[in-house]
Chains A and B, each alone.
Chain A
Amino acid sequence: MACLHDHSCEDHDCSSDWSLYKHIDIPKLSALNEAVPGSVKAVFKAWEQRLNSSEGFLESNEGDPELIVFIPFTSDVKIKSISIVGGADGTSPNKMRAFINREGIDFSDAQSMQAVQEWDLAENLQGVLEYQTRYSRFQGVGNLTLHFPDSYGGDTSRIQYIGLKGEATQLKRDVIATIVYELMPNPSDHKTKSESGGGMSHVE
């Protein structure tokens, strides 16, 4: 279900719509099978910069176009639609599968699991295509995992921009977290004002 922009949009209007990137928890962004570790962070930016590849782009490893992108949010969001700008020469992904609120999905999981929604992508080099979601299934999204199984014939997959349109609800998701408490005190975590120039902190 691809929709074309049928109005001459002013950048201002569109950019405010595609503002969910502000609610992404950037340090926890990760991708699997990326050629350059950490390059996934360059893919989430403002609408105006979607074609600007100066920060780099996300590319998969040589000979293997499969990619998984894990996107955690700082609060629960509702996702209305997704836009992908791929690379040239057949390096655009041709299919996208989305999973919600599942952490640690790797390739074997992604291939065997039923996705929440799947799309066939077109080569969208100008970033004017957006893919709508089944909105009812994308309410209360704490994290989103996108799986790109294949490209348009290229050796690798390249993604320049991922845009998310929707609303942020300001609600934090309640997680049953496996919290690991401090097993051993680490002095550098407990810098106290030393009383007499470098005194050892006492534990009474």
Chain B
Amino acid sequence: MVLEATMICIDNSEWMRNGDYSPTRFQAQADAVNLICGAKTQSNPENTVGVLTMAGKGVRVLVTPTSDLGKILACMHGLEIGGEMNLAAGIQVAQLALKHRQNKKQQQRIIVFAGGPVKYDKKVLEMIGKKLKKNSVALDVVNFGEEDESKTEKLEALVAAVNNNDSSHIVHVPAGSSALSDVLLSTPIFTGDGEGGSGFAAAAAAAAAGGVSGFDFGVDPNLDPELALALRVSMEEERARQEAAAKKAADDSSKKEGESTSQDATMSENVGTSASESENKKDDMMDDENALLQQALAMSMVDPDTTVTARDTDMSDAAADDQDLALALQFSMQEDAKDQSDMGKLLADQSFVSSILTSLPGVDPNDPSVKDLLASMQNQPEKKDDDKAPKEDDK
């Protein structure tokens, strides 16, 4: 999270028309620039980034250091390719632009994309490097495009002259199947001297590589612990639900299908909205399985079609509104008094009960305790009144 002002020097010389980086060198460069701008502004909102072009008629500053990402992206449009890259002038103009930055507390950094050949002497470049070091400006060089012994040597010498305590880097990107941006993501240019990397870079790297690079779900647990936790919980619930759904597919009851999807909808909805309660919910699932199960059965027995969603909402919201809970309690109490006979019949219907069970997330129908419960349920339909009590301590 270093506070930094960055000037990016873009190469828009004739050599950028070449297609050895897909789609063209220039387009690959533009993508990389966009990525860098995003990473810089995300790692610290007070960072500023500016852009200038080195070739064409002459060095031209497209946008002075600003934290407005839109402005930077907009200025990359409509750039013309032509001319020869003027490295020395580009770096000097970048240094001048940084000198006049608004916030003097920012560290100064220049990022150069060197695609075309370098016509300056090694000595000249070293002098420029020393001057940058003296004014404590860091320099990152992306060496791509033209492959040339002397070019590599010159750029290495330049970065060595500037380098102060490992703050400057040079990256060589040969032409190949992987995109320029992807290669850059893993370099210190993005990860910022190995200070742990910005979440942006990590997430982008994960997406690009198609795998998980350090952070699950592309969210840094350090940056956003609640979100990471909520994502993990919902992932587990989804997995459990899918297992239950797979089992239920064998049971094939279309009416139950409708119920379970509505239950699932409310379940996943609640995970999304009550992230702080996800911890409580997780505990409920694991620890109070049986109590929960009894309540679920009791409540769903009352009125399977209309009130089941309301009941499940009530139940899943572990820290739900007290008023709603009280109301639901009253309601279910009244209902139970009326529908004794119906409940008895429904409970007796073993297949119905088992299908309800399988559709509940976190419940494994093969669990011996569940099987015992089923057996006891059939024998004692009036046990449901006791089930109201456990609901209270389900907090």
List chain A positions with a Cβ less than 8 A from chain B.
32-33, 37, 61, 64, 66, 103-104, 106-107, 178, 180, 182-184, 187, 196-200
> Within the assembled complex, what's the spacing in Å between the Cα atoms of A134 and B33?
52
Query: Which of B336-350 touch A at CB < 8 Å?
Result: none
Contact of A104 among B104, B223, B275 (CB under 8 A): B104
User: Least Cβ distance of A93 to chain B in Å?
Assistant: 16
> Within the assembled complex, what's the spacing in Å between the Cα atoms of A199 and B280?
11
Is B279 located at the chain interface by the 8 A CB criterion?
yes
List chain B positions with a Cβ less than 8 A from chain A.
45-46, 67, 99, 102-104, 130, 133-136, 164-165, 223-226, 229, 275-276, 279-280, 319
Contact of B276 among A33, A103, A180, A196 (CB under 8 A): A196
Contact of A200 among B45, B102, B275 (CB under 8 A): B275
Asked if B276 and A184 sit within 8 Å, CB to CB, the answer is no
Known: A103-B104, A104-B104, A180-B103. A200 touches B134 (CB 8 A): no
> Within the assembled complex, what's the spacing in Å between the Cα atoms of A64 and B135?
12
> Within the assembled complex, what's the spacing in Å between the Cα atoms of A198 and B228?
12
- Set of chain A residues within 8 Å of B165, measured between Cβ atoms: 37
Residue of A nearest to B275 (CB): A200
- Set of chain A residues within 8 Å of B223, measured between Cβ atoms: 187
User: Least Cβ distance of A38 to chain B in Å?
Assistant: 10
Known: A64-B130, A64-B134. A178 touches B224 (CB 8 A): no
Asked if B103 and A178 sit within 8 Å, CB to CB, the answer is yes
- Set of chain A residues within 8 Å of B104, measured between Cβ atoms: 103-104
Asked if B276 and A61 sit within 8 Å, CB to CB, the answer is no
Asked if B45 and A184 sit within 8 Å, CB to CB, the answer is yes
Known: A64-B134, A107-B134, A180-B46. A199 touches B276 (CB 8 A): yes
Residue of B nearest to A28 (CB): B105
What would 24 A/B residue contacts be, using CB atoms closer than 8 Å? A32-B134, A33-B133, A33-B134, A37-B136, A61-B133, A64-B130, A64-B134, A103-B104, A106-B135, A107-B134, A107-B135, A178-B103, A180-B103, A183-B67, A187-B223, A196-B276, A196-B280, A196-B319, A197-B279, A198-B225, A198-B226, A198-B229, A199-B276, A200-B275
Asked if B276 and A37 sit within 8 Å, CB to CB, the answer is no
Q: Is the interface of A mostly helix, strand, loop or mixed?
A: loop
- Set of chain A residues within 8 Å of B319, measured between Cβ atoms: 196
- Set of chain B residues within 8 Å of A103, measured between Cβ atoms: 104
- Set of chain B residues within 8 Å of A104, measured between Cβ atoms: 104
User: Least Cβ distance of B133 to chain A in Å?
Assistant: 7
Known: A61-B134, A107-B135, A184-B45; 5 extra A-B contacts, CB below 8 A, are A32-B134, A32-B135, A64-B130, A198-B225, A198-B226
Asked if A178 and B102 sit within 8 Å, CB to CB, the answer is yes
- Set of chain B residues within 8 Å of A37, measured between Cβ atoms: 136, 164-165
Contact of A183 among B45, B134, B229 (CB under 8 A): B45
User: Least Cβ distance of A42 to chain B in Å?
Assistant: 17
- Set of chain B residues within 8 Å of A182, measured between Cβ atoms: 45
Interface centre among B134, B223, B319 (most CB of A within 10 A): B134
- Set of chain B residues within 8 Å of A66, measured between Cβ atoms: 134
- Set of chain A residues within 8 Å of B164, measured between Cβ atoms: 37
- Set of chain B residues within 8 Å of A106, measured between Cβ atoms: 99, 135
- Set of chain B residues within 8 Å of A187, measured between Cβ atoms: 223-224
- Set of chain B residues within 8 Å of A184, measured between Cβ atoms: 45
- Set of chain B residues within 8 Å of A200, measured between Cβ atoms: 226, 275-276
Residue of A nearest to B48 (CB): A180
User: Least Cβ distance of B246 to chain A in Å?
Assistant: 33
User: Least Cβ distance of A40 to chain B in Å?
Assistant: 12
- Set of chain B residues within 8 Å of A61, measured between Cβ atoms: 130, 133-134
User: Least Cβ distance of B92 to chain A in Å?
Assistant: 11
Residue of B nearest to A196 (CB): B276
8 closest residue pairs by CB, A with B: A183-B45, A184-B45, A104-B104, A199-B276, A33-B134, A200-B226, A106-B135, A180-B46
> Within the assembled complex, what's the spacing in Å between the Cα atoms of A180 and B46?
7
> Within the assembled complex, what's the spacing in Å between the Cα atoms of A2 and B174?
62
User: Least Cβ distance of A58 to chain B in Å?
Assistant: 14
User: Least Cβ distance of A176 to chain B in Å?
Assistant: 12
> Within the assembled complex, what's the spacing in Å between the Cα atoms of A106 and B165?
20
> Within the assembled complex, what's the spacing in Å between the Cα atoms of A196 and B67?
37
Residue of A nearest to B229 (CB): A198
Interface centre among A107, A184, A199, A200 (most CB of B within 10 A): A200
User: Least Cβ distance of B138 to chain A in Å?
Assistant: 11
- Set of chain A residues within 8 Å of B46, measured between Cβ atoms: 180, 183
Residue of B nearest to A31 (CB): B136
Interface centre among B133, B225, B226, B276 (most CB of A within 10 A): B276
- Set of chain A residues within 8 Å of B229, measured between Cβ atoms: 198
- Set of chain B residues within 8 Å of A197, measured between Cβ atoms: 279
- Set of chain B residues within 8 Å of A199, measured between Cβ atoms: 226, 276
Residue of B nearest to A67 (CB): B134
Residue of A nearest to B164 (CB): A37
